[in-house]
Amino acid sequence: MRALNKKMMTLACATCLTIGMGVVACADTVDLGYGLYGSTSPTVKAVEVMRVPTDAKLRNNEQSQIISVANKAAVDAVNASLKLQAPAQIEPMKGDVLDGFSVYQLQGTDKQGHHVGQLVVVDYSKNAIDQVIGMNKTILEKVPDAKKTAIKSSISKYVDSYSKEKAQQQLQGLKSNTIEGAKLAKDLKTINDKLPAQIMGAFDKMLATDKNLSPKSKEEFRSYVDFMAKQVSLDATHVAYKPVQTRYGTAVTGDLRGSLKYDGFRNTYSLIGYAVPTDKGVALQLLLSDDSSHDYWANELNHMYQTQSLKGGK
């Protein structure tokens, strides 16, 4: 009988341990890049959709190809945009813009229901940030004095090159800001008034480079896009950013809650972002979800980053 009791006790202990371990093991790890890893709450599952590690030695062939294609596309896009919009002639971007990226679907459940959110991590290289600072400096030097007043803020006014320490110092002095209500409505009106023209401007430039379409087809295509551009608008209920202290050091976090509208129909969303400076670059993390899941994911990210408010400067 004593032997049986002992066996039963062992079995009970093993069961408790297994269940206990099972609960602990539920927390998942997400790669935030540059050697930063985040742990989800035990009740939140992270499903990897795509990942390209920032450490080149950890990449397989497929991941190396993906980052190479992404970097080429990013450099081409930046240079094309500079050609069209830069107010002065500047050196084109060279080298890698992205050191890595990853996409996860986060899944969690509470009394409200099943929550899902897309966590997108983009790791911007020091090389790219330094070039952007250099470009800003060149623009400030080259533009006529009359146009200089129009350039309200240029990153090159504050730093001459990127480093984690300089970035964190700048963030500690950053004043938090929240825009809601009438002020936000006014800003949105300004954006929405210009939106159709901006969409058409970009589309016309794209159309101009297309040599396969006939002039008639181009005109027809243009009339469709022109109509659709007039039906699109952006709406927001809350825009905010603030400097914070996280387990990864000083960072900046921001919220954008709103909707993208088309012809009366809308798609509501919540976007929560964190930008974390590291020695090798900036890790930018964006969590996109249903607007109704905003508070759930804001709490989850606070847990993951161990976020604490910073008073902010200026």
Q: Which stretch binds other proteins (CB under 8 A): 145-153, 168-176, 187-195, 259-267?
A: 259-267
C-alpha to C-alpha distance for 61 and 278, rounded to whole angstroms = 26
By CB under 8 A, is residue 240 in contact with other proteins? no
Binds other proteins by CB under 8 A, chosen from 10, 15, 29, 60: 60
Q: Which two tokens stand for residue 255?
A: 């919220």
User: Closer to other proteins at the Cβ: 26 or 49?
Assistant: 49
CB of 263 to other proteins, least distance (A): 5
By CB under 8 A, is residue 292 in contact with other proteins? yes
By CB under 8 A, is residue 291 in contact with other proteins? yes
User: Closer to other proteins at the Cβ: 66 or 140?
Assistant: 66
CB of 219 to other proteins, least distance (A): 13
CB of 313 to other proteins, least distance (A): 31
CB of 200 to other proteins, least distance (A): 16
Q: Which of 69, 72, 52, 60 is nearest to 121 (CA)?
A: 52
Binds other proteins by CB under 8 A, chosen from 2, 146, 152, 265: 265
Q: Which stretch binds other proteins (CB under 8 A): 30-38, 141-149, 175-183, 293-301?
A: 293-301
C-alpha to C-alpha distance for 214 and 290, rounded to whole angstroms = 42
By CB under 8 A, is residue 294 in contact with other proteins? yes
Residue 216 near residue 230 (C-beta atoms within 8 A)? no
Q: Which of 148, 128, 164, 220 is nearest to 34 (CA)?
A: 164
Cβ partners under 8 Å of residue 48, min gap 6: 102, 103, 104
**């202290």: which residue's tokens?**
245
By CB under 8 A, is residue 257 in contact with other proteins? yes
C-alpha to C-alpha distance for 312 and 314, rounded to whole angstroms = 7
Binds other proteins by CB under 8 A, chosen from 105, 178, 198, 217: 105
Binds other proteins by CB under 8 A, chosen from 237, 245, 299, 302: 237
C-alpha to C-alpha distance for 163 and 144, rounded to whole angstroms = 30
User: Closer to other proteins at the Cβ: 15 or 105?
Assistant: 105
CB of 122 to other proteins, least distance (A): 20
Residues 192-231 that bind other proteins (CB under 8 A): 224, 227-228, 231
Residue 44 near residue 32 (C-beta atoms within 8 A)? no
**């950053």: which residue's tokens?**
174
Cβ partners under 8 Å of residue 30, min gap 6: 37, 38, 39, 40, 46, 102, 104, 119, 121, 304
Cβ partners under 8 Å of residue 306, min gap 6: 246, 247
User: Closer to other proteins at the Cβ: 18 or 178?
Assistant: 178
Backbone angles phi, psi at 64, to 5 degrees: -65, -40
Backbone angles phi, psi at 117, to 5 degrees: -150, 145
CB of 270 to other proteins, least distance (A): 7
Binds other proteins by CB under 8 A, chosen from 10, 29, 89, 112: 112
By CB under 8 A, is residue 180 in contact with other proteins? no
In the complex, the residues that contact other proteins under the rule CB under 8 A are 47, 49, 60, 62, 105, 107, 112-116, 224, 227-228, 231, 237, 257-259, 263-268, 270, 290-296
